[in-house]
Amino acid sequence: MKTLLTAVILASSLVAPASADTPSKRVDIALSNFKFTPSIVTLLHGQAYTLHITDTASGSHDLVAKSFFAAASIAPEDRKLISKGAISFDGGETIDVRLVAPAPGTYEMHCSHFMHSTFGMTGKIVVQ
Ligand SMILES: [Cu+2]
């Protein structure tokens, strides 16, 4: 009886992960003068995420992560938010991007506004 119960639990837990219905996890990223918080965003390969990205500054910034956005599976409705590997923000703006994390690796991100990355506005997206 105990063995049967264990088998049932195992079988049901095997069905759950990695399906299209896997709920996405929210990850908050803040852009400010002149940093990303967190500066290292850690994701799990194959997991669905909603990146909830806010420019908390009064001025504009962008999040450039060309190789990451090229490799990730971006939700079709959200692809228009990304242009040439970058998402642009007005001061105070929040943008949600839904995606599935790509192959494990370390992907660079930075702000392309003049001198911002020199001032420290760089970071990494690490997919495990
Ligand atoms: Cu910036």
Q: Is the pLDDT of residue 1 over 60?
A: no
Instruction: Look up the CATH number of domain 22-127.
Output: 2.60.40.420
3-state SS string over 60-102? CEEEECHHHHHHCEECHHHHHHCECCEEEECCCCEEEEEEECC
Name residues with Cβ closer than 5 Å to ligand 1, which is an ion.
61, 111, 113, 116, 121
What's the 94 CA to ligand 1 centre distance in angstroms?
14
What's the 110 CA to ligand 1 centre distance in angstroms?
8
Q: How many residues does the chain have?
A: 128
pTM here? 0.83
Q: Read off the tokens for 62.
A: 């962008």
What's the 121 CA to ligand 1 centre distance in angstroms?
6
Domain ranges of the chain: 22-127
pLDDT tens-place string over residues 66-110: 999 999 999 999 999 999 999 999 999 999 999 999 999 999 999
